[in-house]
Amino acid sequence: MRIAPTQLVEFPLPIAHAMSQSAWNFTVDDTSPMFVYQPYGDGNLTGGWATWYSGSGFNTAGGEASVGDSYHLTGFDGASIAFRFYGSAIYVYGTSNSTFDVTLDNTVTNGTASDGLLYSNTALPFGDHNVTITAHPSDGQLLMLDRAVVTAGPTPVQSLEFYNTNSSIKYSGGWSIATDPRNQIPSTANPGPYHKTTTLGDTASLQFTGGSAVAVYGAINWGNWIYGVGVDNSMTQLNGSTWWLVPNALLFFQAGLDPNTSHTISITNTATGNMPLYLNSVIVYGQSPSANGPSTHNPPGNSPSVGGIPVSGISE
């Protein structure tokens, strides 16, 4: 049974909490495939997780455009969210009127929601960590996830965006350039072309130096499925399936890279059945990030910001 949006009016939405302004904090929205939802990430909330938007409510048809802020909700006992990250602190924002458990690196604690902060830990050593939140709602109770914020570095960084048409990004296979007829990709404020493939094994890659972290952005939509992202010799497979059109989702993020070493990031369509993969941009973060070799062709637009830190430039 779907719960109507009007029934959520009394369910408090998450609010911001103070965190260190001297460190570099990176936000991961609930729509990112970096979150692993079990038993599923977008369906009926009585059996798993459902995406709800503050302006659109629940989904009514595959590929529906969204309005407002997104949240993942569940009313299913045992539904979980897993998230792997590199950093020294983690803040998980959301709210709940049910009990839930938090497992951080094999240590289990009982969660209690307070003012929109489901969980935080600010005393982690810099390194790779895993956090899982498991909901235990009873009849009529819900747990809602908004976003996670990770302290990904000890100091603020500069950022350099490589738009999908930048020549530094190398494409292999049957990629093509497309535009959204609804002018929503990557955003309604600044729509533009994106790269698309439906061929198994097609890859896009970027070599860069001076970066301590890297992020990949692209649209996810009804009909998307699995894809792989490799950083140097490490490969991660993610699931981009959703009921909604999310025009500029965070497809991947990795911090903790050696800025004194050259790195290669690649994104590969690993889905069969002509299922699509979309690429909007790659952003490299560091004290002086750059591409290996000349790059050209980035359209004009507003520079984005991450965690309150403005992107320092657009590669030309």
**Domain at 100, CATH number:** 2.60.120.260
Question: Residue 81 falls within a domain, yes or no?
Answer: yes
Q: Answer whether residue 307 shows pLDDT above 60.
A: no
pTM of the model: 0.88
Backbone angles phi, psi at 8, to 5 degrees: -100, 5
Neighbours of 241 (CB within 10 A): 17
**Which DSSP state fits 287?**
S
Do both 218 and 252 map to the same domain?
yes
Do both 130 and 246 map to the same domain?
no
Residue 136 three-state SS: strand
Do both 276 and 178 map to the same domain?
yes
Q: Report the alpha-carbon angle 267-173-194, nearest 5.
A: 60
Mind listing the pLDDT tens digit for each residue in 36-63? 999 999 999 999 999 999 999 999 999 9
Using an 8 Å Cβ cutoff, are 62 and 289 in contact?
Answer: no
pLDDT-based confidence at 86, cuts 50/70/90? very high
Residue 8 three-state SS: helix
Backbone angles phi, psi at 183, to 5 degrees: 55, 45
Question: Residue 104 falls within a domain, yes or no?
Answer: yes
Q: Is the dihedral of CA 298, 299, 304, 306 positive or negative?
A: negative
Residue 7 three-state SS: helix
Question: Residue 9 falls within a domain, yes or no?
Answer: no
Distance of alpha carbon 22 from alpha carbon 249, whole angstroms:
26
Do both 78 and 28 map to the same domain?
yes
Question: Residue 12 falls within a domain, yes or no?
Answer: no
Do both 283 and 187 map to the same domain?
yes
Do both 207 and 149 map to the same domain?
no
Do both 118 and 27 map to the same domain?
yes
Q: What is the per-residue pLDDT for 301?
A: 47
Do both 234 and 209 map to the same domain?
yes
Backbone angles phi, psi at 7, to 5 degrees: -75, -5
pLDDT-based confidence at 112, cuts 50/70/90? confident
Last residue of a domain, one of 94, 120, 153: 153
Q: What is the per-residue pLDDT for 111?
A: 87
Our count of domains for the chain comes to 2
Distance of alpha carbon 13 from alpha carbon 23, whole angstroms:
26
Last residue of a domain, one of 112, 133, 153: 153
Question: Residue 248 falls within a domain, yes or no?
Answer: yes
pLDDT-based confidence at 298, cuts 50/70/90? low
- Alpha carbon distances (Å) from 247 to 66, 171, 191, 301: 9, 21, 10, 16
Domain that includes residue 209, residue range: 158-296
First to last CA, the chain: 51
Q: Is the dihedral of CA 151, 258, 265, 130 positive or negative?
A: negative
Question: Residue 10 falls within a domain, yes or no?
Answer: no
Mind listing the pLDDT tens digit for each residue in 122-180? 999 999 999 999 999 999 999 999 999 999 999 999 999 999 999 999 999 999 999 99
Averaged pLDDT for residues 82-97: 96
Do both 252 and 198 map to the same domain?
yes
Q: Answer whether residue 294 shows pLDDT above 90.
A: no
Mind listing the pLDDT tens digit for each residue in 246-272? 999 999 999 999 999 999 999 999 999
Distance of alpha carbon 181 from alpha carbon 206, whole angstroms:
28
Question: Residue 8 falls within a domain, yes or no?
Answer: no
Q: What is the per-residue pLDDT for 295?
A: 58
Tally of CA atoms within 13 A in the half-sphere of 68 that contains its CB: 14
Do both 127 and 143 map to the same domain?
yes
Do both 170 and 290 map to the same domain?
yes
241/9: higher pLDDT: 241
Do both 243 and 147 map to the same domain?
no
Residue 6 three-state SS: helix
Question: Residue 30 falls within a domain, yes or no?
Answer: yes
pLDDT-based confidence at 23, cuts 50/70/90? confident
- Alpha carbon distances (Å) from 172 to 20, 50, 229, 240: 42, 35, 15, 21
Last residue of a domain, one of 133, 153, 173: 153
- Alpha carbon distances (Å) from 220 to 116, 190, 224, 243: 27, 17, 6, 9
Q: Answer whether residue 4 shows pLDDT above 70.
A: no
